[in-house]
Structure 1
Amino acid sequence: MPYDQIIKNGHVVLDSEIKKVDIGIQNGVITSMSDQLTDSHNILDAEGHYIFPGMIDTHVHFNEPGREVWEGFKTGSELLAAGGCTTFFDMPLNGIPSTVTREALFDKAAIGESKSIIDFGLWGGLVPGHLDDLEKLAEGGVIGFKAFLSPSGNVEFEAADDFTLLSGMKKIAKLDRILALHAESGPLVTFLAQEKANKGLTSCDDYLESRPIQAEVEAVSRAINYAEITGCTLHFVHISSPEAVQIIQSAKQKGLDVTLETCPHYLLFNHEDLKRLGPIAKCAPPLRLPETQKALIEELINGNIDMITSDHSPSPWSDKDKDNIFEAWGGINGGQFSLLSMIELALNHRVPLQNVAKWTAKAPAERYGLSPKKGSIQIGADADFAIVSLKESHTITKQDLFAKHKYSLFENHTFPCKIKTTIHRGQVVYSDGRMINDKVRGQWLKHDVYQPN
């Protein structure tokens, strides 16, 4: 049978090598990888370009229902596709209601299925008052659960106190799910922020000092101790310091089932950028000092950070545009640029591009049960690809932004590479700066969707 599509002449980024090979696709799945494939009326010539597995971004905030004005599944999935991403997991906290009940889960899933142009999974929430909902959420198909150890910034999604955390971890362990944690010490950051407020201190330096590395280290250490007691599988989101990375690595060596991610903004930017750009660069944990940024990059290169996510968390500009940095929304509008960022880092530090594919696709696929159907370019896998030029630089302008709100920390940044085409299940969804085929819809990937019965 002829192929539905053939991608020819590209440098294919495989798990352990880069190989020039043609890819044959049928029914959205890779069915052949060999030289000189020709049996198709639909041939895409990728000569001179690199073909990466589509990114799997397991940490985004699309805020539907209730806060679509911040970002929704349509604009959110489009901006990710423009960045070479073909699968994402949406966090539970910023919707109204938050995803803490089975009903809220299915309502959000229906919105995603009607609007998202790429595949998606959904996190559930671990919050006070909803421990009895965890089992129903697990049965409904959540990828795992998210909890905050410090205030989330959203009154609808409370931070987990120690009793909720321990009780929830014990339940989540029995449900064989994973708990993702925003690990900053709530008492410490609240106390330090209040001290700054009492003194009328509102600068970028004050914000950094109110969320020190010690707050991350304390929360990570506490959660790991709780995991030892409860047997809960953990994943730490947006880790910003090498000290926290090392604590997590020590836990791994003791046999705990724990992983971590960091984000491109902690690797490409630092506290000096917050001082230069103001609230547009505010996030929590904050961008760190240049020496911490450098050490975090070393941890990534040395293999101590499992995966990369965007933590795309935008808001209307009115929520960012505050004179008092403490009052500005703390989220980065950057989901479109994660793969580009990691390619830039790899080129600058002479890291093999296979590592980029691992950080952005293979590792999350394996951690969350999507492998081998997603995360790697191989026969039998979904035909999810990002086709990238390493011969073209790309300076980001407002016109490049697919996000609902046209501002970003990455504006005016020049990448040494460019996303040319994104293919999701064999369908071109983005090419040369524009969306293609707005009729394409992604699938809701429930937990264990690719696992054998």
Structure 2
Amino acid sequence: MSQSAEAERADLLLRSTRVITPEGTRAATVAVADGSIAAVLPYEAYEAYGTPQAGETRDAGQSAVRREDLGDDVLLPGLVDTHVHVNDPGRAEWEGFASATRAAAAGGVTTLVDMPLNSVPPTTTVEHLDLKRGAADGRVHIDVGFWGGVIPGNTADLKPLHNAGVFGFKCFLVHSGVEEFPNLSAAELAEAMGEIAGFGGLLVVHAEDAHCLDSAPRTPGRRYADFLASRPRAAEDTAIEGLIALAKRLDARVHVLHLSSGDALPLIAEARREGVRLTVETCPHYLTLTAEEVPDGATEFKCCPPIREAANQDALWQGLADGVIDCVVSDHSPSTADLKRFDTGDFAEAWGGISSLQLGLPAVWTEARRRGHGLEDVARWMSTAPAELAGLRHKGAIEAGRDADFAVLAPDETFTVDPAELHHRNRVTAYAGRTLHGVVRSTWLRGRRIADHGTPTEPTGRLIERQRTA
């Protein structure tokens, strides 16, 4: 059936002078039918499609076509965030499915994939996955999927989790921060990677080398420079080098989480030239915040790996521009305020995690535009590439056949981050007081508006599973 014929079924038409499509940005009308994109049509089609001609009538029960003229606001594909710690069940006081997905919807995110920790229990068995799905069911404002977890001793649980629909498997090479999700030894990593490669799965890795961290100076206290010295770039570089060698030997598909070290980029580029199946992400905080601006005692900036120097940030942006880094996702890792240890400002004791689920799009866009990148780049990094990573073939682009998931952005408008306006359960943010470009006007999930001017509607998201290959 042609796009024109598909468009005749439309129940929603969205028009903008700036629609981000795989072919570029253009003025267009997007026709939506039954929650999917039926067609991307010329701008002028807005007035013609869905309007009965003289002498025609609609079928019985067929409702009128809804129309939204967005003017010059930009229509982007809804963001796909594949690195979110919802912490529910077990630590819902840290976040929770209702609050996390409200924040996501307000920020233009339409799909997230939840990490297997810091919930209790972690998602390391099918039974635990069922508990997590039960905690999320009926409470999510956007579509939510799940990663499985790899810990010592659960190799036999990996294929059943894969068959149950998880999108891949997360592991740590260093202490995870919670006792119920221990890290893997070198031998355990090889065993897990071989098992996952055997059934065609994806292993996603917190890549820091334990020996490097053990040999780094550890000085407790308020000085950010001391904390930064305790998590050197070499720890990431060494771990990634080892991952590359193992993935090459086992022909495994591996993804490096939250890259903060620009020094690792040549290793990654060379591995890809050699055919290693390696993908890489970084995060908004590494692209927008710098070590030089972190005040001593400001533990809201603590994350692991850490926010590094401005020169290192420049390297990460170059890695994005060169395609060595594939995607930008939040690593939203909240906690209760007391765990940030604002009473002492001690970086060694504070919980490491940045909450940015609601702010990722404007934060990245603010810095991207300053560096000469366009919204097409941002949409690729924050929607298309994460969807491809997770195998979400119906997400991540505005084209016929995809889910009608959209973010509507006023890219030239600014706002100052006020923690009180965030939907995160604990409104601690490293972005407080920063002025950002890009106001999310509305968010749409399968053709339904789920947030309007920062206010989410009732939860209508779905729990999703890894899509099987045909």
Q: Is the 8 A contact 2:16 2:75 kept in 1?
A: no
Task: Flag the 1:390–1:294 CA change in 2: closer, same or farther, 3 A.
Answer: same
SS in structure 2 at match of 1:9: strand
Residues of 2 paired with 1:276 and 1:3: CA distance?
A: 56
Q: Say whether the 8 Å CA contact 1:113–1:442 is kept in structure 2.
A: no
SS in 1 for 2:432: coil
- 1:162 has 2:162 as partner: no
Counterpart Cα distance in 2 of 1:54 and 1:401 = 19
Aligned match of 1:294:
314
Aligned to 2:413, the other structure's residue is in SS state coil
Q: CA deviation at 1:316?
A: 0.4
8 Å contact kept, 1:202–1:325: yes
Q: Which amino acid aligns with 1:444?
A: L
1:25 aligns to 2:32 (yes or no): yes
Offset of residue 45 of structure 1: 1.7
Superposed CA offset, 1:170-215 (max 9, x none): 00001211100001111221343xx535xx6652111100110000
1:18 match: secondary structure = strand
Letter of the structure 2 residue corresponding to residue 424 of structure 1: L
Q: Residue 435 of structure 2: which of 410, 414, 437 is its match?
A: 414
Deviations 1:222-247 (A, max 9, x none): 11111122222100010001111221
1:196/1:202 contact within 8 Å kept: no
Distance 2:375 2:246 in 1: 36
1:115 match: secondary structure: coil
Whether the 8 Å CA contact 2:262–2:316 is kept in 1: the answer is: yes
TM-score by length of structure 1 reads 0.95
Question: Which of 220, 225, 237 is residue 217 of structure 1 equivalent to?
Answer: 237
Matched position secondary structure for 1:404? coil
Q: Is the contact made by 2:223 and 2:296 (CA closer than 8 Å) also made in structure 1? A: no
2:326 to 303, 306, 309: 306
Q: SS where residue 268 of structure 2 aligns?
A: helix
How far apart in 1 are the matches of 2:286 and 2:274? Answer: 27
Name the Cα RMSD after superposition: 1.5
Does residue 362 in structure 1 map to residue 384 in structure 2?
yes
CA contact (8 A) 1:420 1:431 kept: yes
Q: Deviations over 1:280-330 (max 9, x none)?
A: 000000010121112222222222210000000000000002422110000
The question of whether the paired residues in 2 share the 8 Å contact of 1:150 and 1:187 is answered with no
After the TM superposition, which residues 234-245 of structure 1 pair with which residues of structure 2 at under 5 Å, given as runs?
234-245=254-265
Kindly report structure 1 stretches of 4+ aligned residues shifted beyond 4 Å. Answer: none
Distance 2:287 2:103 in 1: 21
Q: Which of 427, 447, 453 in structure 1 is aligned with 2:466? A: 447
Q: What is residue 120 of structure 1 aligned with on the other side? A: 144
SS at match of 1:96: coil
Q: 1:448, CA displacement in angstroms?
A: 1.7
Q: Does 1:153 align with 2:153?
A: no
TM-score scaled by length of structure 2? 0.91
Rounded Cα–Cα distance in structure 2 between residues aligned with 1:77 and 1:13: 24
Name the amino acid aligned to 1:143. F
Name the structure 1 match of 2:67. 43
Partners of 2:209 and 2:238 within 8 A in 1: yes
Q: 1:260 aligns with which of 258, 271, 280?
A: 280
Which residue of the other structure, out of 72, 77, 90, is the alignment partner of 2:96? Answer: 72
Deviation at 1:73, TM superposition (A): 0.8
2:114 corresponds to which letter in structure 1? D
Q: Distance in 1 between matches of 2:155 and 2:221?
A: 38
The SS at the match of 1:78 is: helix
- Aligned length, in residue pairs: 444
Give the counterpart letter for 1:351 in structure 2: H
Post-superposition offset of 1:160: 0.7
Q: Distance in 2 between matches of 1:326 and 1:277?
A: 11
Structure 1 segments unaligned to the other structure (5+ residues): none
Take 1:53 and 1:161, find their aligned partners in 2: how far apart are those partners?
39
Determine if contact 1:61/1:311 at 8 Å carries over to the other structure: yes
Q: Secondary structure at the match of 2:303?
A: coil
Question: Partners of 1:265 and 1:282 in 2: how far apart?
Answer: 10
Output the amino acid matched with 1:380.
G
